[in-house]
Amino acid sequence: MRTGRALSLVLLLLLAGCGDSARDPLLHGYVDADYVLVGAEVTGRLATLNVKRGDPVKAGAVLFTLDDRDETAALAQAQAQLAQAKASLADLLTGKRPEEIRVLDAQLADAEAALTVAQKTYDRNRDLSTRAVVAVATLDQSKADLDSAAARVQAARENRAVANLPARPDQIAAAQQQVSALAAAVTAAETKLARRTQSAVAPGRIEEVFYQVGEIVPAGQAVTSLLPEGARKILFFVPEAMRSTVRPGQRASILCDGCASGLTATIASIATDAEFTPPVIYSKESRAKLVFRVEARPEGDARKLDPGQPVDIRLGTEQ
């Protein structure tokens, strides 16, 4: 469609070049724009569509969403697994729970009480043994009971001390790696969920809507077309004879039917290659058919012109 439009404009341009305004010819062009096609990053069913054609939108405004039930469930699962891994790591770092420590304290107290009894029994049997009241075997048994009670106290004290220590370094390192892996899984799940929602990358106007709610949108396919603010441009063509007089930064007057006076644009770029090029060896007659595509950025109120609108261009600011 745009190629046909360009051909028509070129014909108009060539006709204008034959007019009476040889000193300051009136060129012909039209308003175009650099559109942003906002599409789906992944295939999915269109769940919501928040805009329609012609709607103004702000940057960051949600344009549409895809069905995200699977991604939401996957994110919840990943977050639960991460929370479990963090709790396990915290348990390894803090030692035993208060309830377990109270059990160990009770075991230590019981062992110390048994040691006290064993010590008294041994002392009494030793005194009686010196007076030959008890047999040597009884003294030996009480000594063995004392040693056993002392060993149990030592073990209980060590268990109580260990209860305040974290787990072994290798266990802690493994738990930390598990937490890191699950945190990455949560980030991946969040990214997949975010890809189901698309927002406007810049303020502008919705130009086209290509899908409706309930339809399947293939990955990479545009759902809406956004015309950002400041994306409009004026396209026109200059004949070969005028090419040397046109340069980037040059200002031009813009005229159109029903438009206010004083509209201007600044030339942004000029094509290096001619269009509709004849054979390689150019005669003076063939050079007259060469045209160069020119893009100009509208200024002020000219930025409000709608794409597709035909305009006339006069180089320089005079109208």
User: What pLDDT digit, counting tens, does each position of 131-172 carry?
Assistant: 766 677 777 788 888 888 888 888 888 777 766 656 677 888
> How confident is residue 257, by pLDDT bands cut at 50, 70 and 90?
confident
Give the per-residue pLDDT at 205: 95
Question: Whole-prediction pTM value?
Answer: 0.62
Q: Give residue limits of the domains in the chain.
A: 2-34+231-315, 39-67+196-227, 73-178
Instruction: Report whether pLDDT(31) > 80.
Output: yes
User: What pLDDT digit, counting tens, does each position of 211-220 carry?
Assistant: 999 999 999 9
Instruction: Report whether pLDDT(282) > 50.
Output: no
Q: Topology of 2-34+231-315 in CATH?
A: Elongation Factor Tu (Ef-tu); domain 3 (2.40.30)
pLDDT, greater one: 172 or 46: 46
| Inter-residue contact 270 to 294 (CB < 8 Å) | yes
Average predicted confidence (pLDDT) for the chain: 82
Q: What is the mean pLDDT of residues 252-280?
A: 81
User: What pLDDT digit, counting tens, does each position of 266-275 carry?
Assistant: 999 998 887 7
Instruction: Report whether pLDDT(279) > 50.
Output: no
% of the chain residues with pLDDT over 90? 43
Give the per-residue pLDDT at 5: 47
User: What CATH number was assigned to the domain covering residues 39-67+196-227?
Assistant: 2.40.50.100
Give the per-residue pLDDT at 108: 80
Contact residues for 287 (Cβ-Cβ < 8 A; gap 6+): 240, 241
Q: Strand pairing partners for 291?
A: 239, 275
Q: What is the mean pLDDT of residues 280-289?
A: 51
Cα–Cα distances in Å, from 144 out to 56, 139, 148?
A: 93, 9, 6
pLDDT, greater one: 235 or 316: 235
Instruction: Report whether pLDDT(290) > 50.
Output: yes
Give the per-residue pLDDT at 162: 67
pLDDT, greater one: 58 or 238: 58
26 vs 15: CA distance, rounded Å: 10
Instruction: Report whether pLDDT(11) > 50.
Output: no
Give the per-residue pLDDT at 133: 67
| Inter-residue contact 27 to 10 (CB < 8 Å) | no
% of the chain residues with pLDDT over 70? 82
Q: What is the DSSP string of 173-205?
A: HHHHHHHHHHHHHHHHHHHHHHTTEEE-SSSEE
Out of 89-93, 97-101, 134-138, 248-252, the most confident range is: 248-252
Give the per-residue pLDDT at 165: 59
Give the per-residue pLDDT at 32: 92
Instruction: Report whether pLDDT(69) > 70.
Output: yes
Give the per-residue pLDDT at 13: 44
Give the per-residue pLDDT at 274: 77
287 vs 163: CA distance, rounded Å: 94
Give the per-residue pLDDT at 88: 87
Task: Give the distance, in angstroms, between the CA of residue 231 and the centroid of all CA atoms in the same chain.
Answer: 24
Q: What is the mean pLDDT of residues 20-44?
A: 82
* Weakest-pLDDT range from 36-50, 62-76, 107-121, 244-258: 107-121
Out of 47-51, 112-116, 130-134, 174-178, the most confident range is: 47-51
